[in-house]
Chains A and B, each alone.
Chain A
Amino acid sequence: MAQLWKNLQQQPKCNTRNRPIRSPKAALATDEETSADLSFPLFQPSSLPQHTPASKLELADPDFYKIGYVRSMRAYGIEFREGSDGFGVYASKDVEPLRRARVIMEIPLELMLTISQKLPWMFFPDIIPLGHPIFDIINSTNPEKDWDLRLACLLLQAFDCKDNFWQLYGDFLPSADECSSLLLATEEDLLELQDQNLASTMREQQKRALEFWEKNWHSAVPLKIKRLAQEPERFIWALSMAQSRCINKQIRIGALVQDANMLVPYADMLNHSFQPNCFFHWRFKDRMLEVMINAGQRIRKGDEMTVNYMVGQKNNFFMQRYGFSSPVNPWDVIHFSGSTQIHLNSFLSVFNISGLPEEYYHNSKLSNDGDSFVDGAVIAAARTLPTWSDGDIPPIPSMERKAVKELQEECQQMLAEFPTTAGQDQQILEAMPEARRTLEAAVKYRLHRKLFIEKIIQALDIYQERILF
């Protein structure tokens, strides 16, 4: 799995960055066990980061870009770097904020694996030969639900096609032990999640994948199919790739507009962020997928290029689909029982959050510089805490404080329900640097949940302090 999420805490609000970055030496690779500083910034002293995120990482294998360049894929002003968490795309030079979105990558259609989402299934490029039994397999899937199975079959077929780009590119995809998708997780890992719903969902998914494999790769199937996935693990790995790296876009090819599931080679190395730099754009003229920097976005050298994978989803969705989670997911939801509510407007004004409920953002113009407390978690809190807002009726401070206390108690209760505390989780993670990725991801998932709740408690504290002015 590529490096999964970009931690908001490292985004600069006031922090200066030193430029230029030193070129990373190869020796840095072995020192990269201290990747903890990237993963757990909350436990870092929030000092000025000395380097850009890019300087700690090593440049990827030069063949990685070269195989694409030869096939007319282009990357402008970016470089691919690899760290202990996987690949990432980093800017190699500063970009001024322009009116227009800037293209940083363009990938032609021939390199991608695309299936339309609806019947009739069309493949771009069409690597499935006429009469190949894989097509029957794809045909047997459910048109609405089994898009990932289709993509997985297509990916496996691509690995088998002679002179296919994915044969070369597959070497740079995360292998099964590097992949943190929960499809590859064991029972233990699922238990470590400490989330029953998610665990059961994942078990279902695993079962579904296994059934599919058994149905279509039984022993009597022709060699053409059999050699695509000799073991179920390979199929499940392909399925996890398909799920986590798929881009769903509405593309126009020729005159036909269709929704498509695409596996795009270089664009899938972009990591996720809730405040992304980039977005995907389909250029129908020459059938290229462009990765473009947001208009008006200033990029410094060494900044990571990020995309928003899915808007408006909770952490468990990200965990299920992509295999990562984030403590600062602004769409995370906690279910509060009880009827205590706090005043929404004063909560928002305390933390200088502005915007409509769907698009809460931290308004840094109102706040003083140096206030780095408000992040996605606080925004999620603003959304998920039970609030009331009734026109101009002012909140009564005493009632507010009472409500706050109650909510905090509830949060503490939730935290107590967990078998471990956040600190313990952190220690567990530090104690096993060589854990399996899935285990690590599971532990991180529950850790982030706890951190989120803790953050809510903190936010309520601050709210309580500032309520009177």
Chain B
Amino acid sequence: MVLFLLLASTLLGMLAGLLPVVGMQSEREANPRSDYQPPNLQPLPSPASSNCSQLTLKLEFSSEVVEHEYIVAFTGYFSEKARSLYISSALRGAGDKNLEWHIVPRENPASDFPSDFELVHIKQASSSSLLTLEDHPYIKRVTPQRKVFRTLKYIPSPEPAAPFQIVIDCSSCFSGLGHGTFVAGVIASMRECQGFAPDSELHIFRVFTNNQVSYTSWFLDAFNYAILKKIDVLNLSIGGPDFMDHPFVDKVWELTANKVIMVSAIGNDGPLYGTLNNPADQMDVIGVGGIDFEDNIARFSSRGMTTWELPGGYGRVKPDIVTYGSGVRGSGLKEGCRSLSGTSVASPVVAGAVTLLASTVLNRELVNPASMKQALIASARRLPGVNMFEQGHGKLDLIRAYQILNSYRPQASLSPSYIDLTECPYMWPYCSQPIYYGGMPTIVNVTILNGMGVTGRIVDKPIWQPYLPQNGDNIDVAVSYSPVLWPWAGYLAVSISVAKKAASWEGIAQGHVMVTVASPAENDSEVGGELTSTVKLPIKVKIVPTPPRSKRVLWDQYHNLRYPPGYFPRDNLRMKNDPLDWNGDHVHTNFRDMYQHLRSMGYFVEVLGAPLTCFDASQYGTLLMVDSEEEYFPEEITKLRRDIDNGLSLIIFSDWYNTSVMRKVKFYDENTRQWWMPDTGGANVPALNDLISVWGMAFSDGLYEGDFTLADHDMYYASGCSIARFPEDGIVIAKNLKDQGLEVLKQETAVVEGVPILGLYQTPSEGGGRIVLYGDSNCIDDSHRQKDCFWLLDALLQYTSYSMTPPSLSHSHSRVAPPVGAERPLPQRLEGNHLYRYSKVLEAHLGDPKPRPLPACPHLSWAKPQPLNETAPSNLWKHQKLLSVDLDKVALPNMKSYRPQVRPLSPGESGAWDIPGGIMPGRYNQEVGQTIPVFAFLGAMVVLSFFVVQLTKAKSKPKRRKPRIKRPTYLQQQTATAGKNPTV
């Protein structure tokens, strides 16, 4: 039997600054811990809190000779017996019979081992007797014993010294789960399961109800309190996917702008990509991922790029660092230790380390959210074989971070600190595909960290300097950046493209971008003074000749919408615990496996982050549109039609769209206290139908699900639609599937025969392209995928790119006549949907929303190159460290000995292992409003029907089978000898 406990609590820890915590202390007396307290803004006394004030340490030495005691040093190591023998023989040689002496006994465990000295007490020692002692061949020298006094004096100073800490939690006080206790323990436990910074002061807040519901407004008020109290570090072991919760995101910025170092857990949604959580995905926050004790990335740790920047840009690298998050031991609820797993646990490890680090820095002015983050990422140890979107800068290294922080000078730095598109696997996905002329520019989104001040700016413009000896002039670079670096950070997006002259060239090109960051100097006596820092971003790319059109696949990112901000429901309706489509739908997030597969098949995959009017269709073999939620501009529809006439092929993986089901999957969200109605289905089928209607094609509003076999491959259709219309000369494959719409709406099961799911069509015009429709995207999507269909994608790309009709499909016995779609009306857009709020295409109008004017295509202004006759180092990574810190010269202790150990479990404690891909309670609180009345009603109905049955049967007594009575008795006797009783 497995007891599956999911955790309910949460914890927010903060390390606080200096103000005497008057309000808090008075509260300690007023509110004993067991009393009920409002869940927020109630600092709870912590056993770990110590009342440090600002102190400086004064150290003094003095020593004096101890009378009659002498240290006798020997030439080698001898046993106690031998030492005593030598001394007595030496003193005997002195001839003084009255000499009173004895060896001062040692009472330490080491006294059993041979030693090279002895302490001798000699009364009235004459110098001659000491000299004879020294004459002994085994005695090296004799010295008087000295007593050393060291005094430590604490003197109150005006400078801040010890960091204080706040932990927000308290679910433990009420629900008995104790995760707040655990996290607080990791940071500051003093006795069992020692934490990192036992002298820190904890401020603890509860941020969840017993039902694990939390509200943005609670965080706003708690963070205001943290700012007022001048807290130093804040640990937030929670987060969510909603990075568009502006009040919350703004408040986190405000918090770090007030010099609060924020450490947050990156999330437990791995190993899927595109699962980063807010606020850990913010530039000003230290986002922490989890590893196990073998230095493998923990399966649950969220990863992939940030999705804020989609569709036009590219995501930033997160997490920032990783640390132990699997089976970490910390304080138990009542006493002792326990182990826990999750990035919730990794976050306080870093928060504890940060606390400790902050306390070591003499000049506290230098510690700020940026400098701390710079020190952590510059010192982190890179894990081999793991890419940067999983490990960030690597594993936390406390000692090295200490060394860096103690020689730190305010400066700017970059994350990642270099761009080497050839380095695998660290620079995945950049290293997985070389660049070529005519391709979509490769974008690297670099974060600028500015340790010089909370605000900063980039002076002039970043300069692109290609290295001529290394063919740097074969690439063009465009740079865009934050106008103001606030708070402590900003972005620097580098777009790299191949120059026309290298269209058929193959090789490596290198150069660098120089950025100068300036911040107002606050300690400068001169008003208006500025601190500046110049950073170099080396760039190395691999260029290949432009591949043929047929090898090039274009992924449409522009028409993929996701949560946040809108409710775009999941593509697989069976996955009830994950109702939202929130992974970005990008080839480097939840379509990563598909991307890897296409790369392994030799295709070059590019991403279109702009309308369909913004690409040169003659360059591409196939346009891939998967699970699109967005509408289309009329210009796009016209252009696509023209492109396909001119030989571009189109593959569409659609998904379900059924207005009744959409109404059914609405839910009441406890967090926002409102009803959530989806704005599209899994995909926006009515919009897709507008796009493909010109070829006489359409998807239906049917909703199907089920297993089937296609060309000897097992397939699973997870909530997809069917093809409603298809040209009569096309190839259409149909399968028997379950009607999932009926199941969702009426809880009935019905199998529908011959559902058309796949259609292949060659357009009639001369040299025209091919169109493929498939009704479900789940088999190429990494999230909730059960069976992949990459083989099908291969076959379809063979068809679209090379016009090779796969015989397994064209001669399949599942092939049916193309549907004409007369029997059922095509799906219409859900009345009153709010898609226009999130759409880049629609805008609100009286009546129906109308398309906006077509936006201009993105235009990159290429930086003017300033060529250098310089040679780049072969390994870019090693040469990128913080200025004024040379770690190679610092002697480092053997890191092995600093590894935390997994201790054997104490008796009565549970064994520990991970729950991969954990399901978290309290994540989505839909159906809460609905289920309770439903349960009550059902229960009442059951009771009622029971009594009705009872009444009708009361007259005729039912017969009972008697022989069954004996069997259990026999069983009881048998089991009595087995004697196993549950001991839960």
**A and B interact:** no
Q: Could you tell me which A residues sit within 8 Å of B by CB distance?
A: none
